Amino acid sequence: MEKTLCILIGFFLIVPTLSLAADKSVHQDKSGQTKTFFVKTATMHAMGKVIKISDESIKIERIVKGDLEIMEFTLDEPAENICVNDFIKIDYRGKKGKLVALKVTKIKFTKP
């Protein structure tokens, strides 16, 4: 009786150890892979009145919380159909300390 009891206890101790040893090899294969993460910069927007425009840059003034603010953006391609004193919306990103305009659209006001 003692012999079968020792065999049963040994069996219950050895089988879980073998199954855990088999699981570790599977986890080691997956841990060798590396994941790459791409950081996407946020797109911001500003609305205001054009005070200066050229082929390379555009300067607008806007009112933020009662204060007048002047912002200057660099353009990848010249903006079409935009003149001084037009109200525009600019979608932009910050790259290397400069504000780069991605999209420039003219705002059309309608009467209610």
C-alpha count within 13 angstroms, C-beta hemisphere, residue 72:
8
C-alpha count within 13 angstroms, C-beta hemisphere, residue 24:
6
Give the separation between CA 32 and CA 25, rounded to whole angstroms. Answer: 12
Domain ranges in the chain?
A: 1-33, 44-106
Residue type, 11: F
* pLDDT tens-digit series, residues 53-81: 999 999 999 999 999 999 999 998 888 88
39-56 exposure pattern, b = at least 16 Cβ within 10 A, e = fewer: eeeeeeebebebeebeee
What CATH topology corresponds to 44-106? OB fold (Dihydrolipoamide Acetyltransferase, E2P) (2.40.50)
* pLDDT tens-digit series, residues 32-41: 567 777 777 7
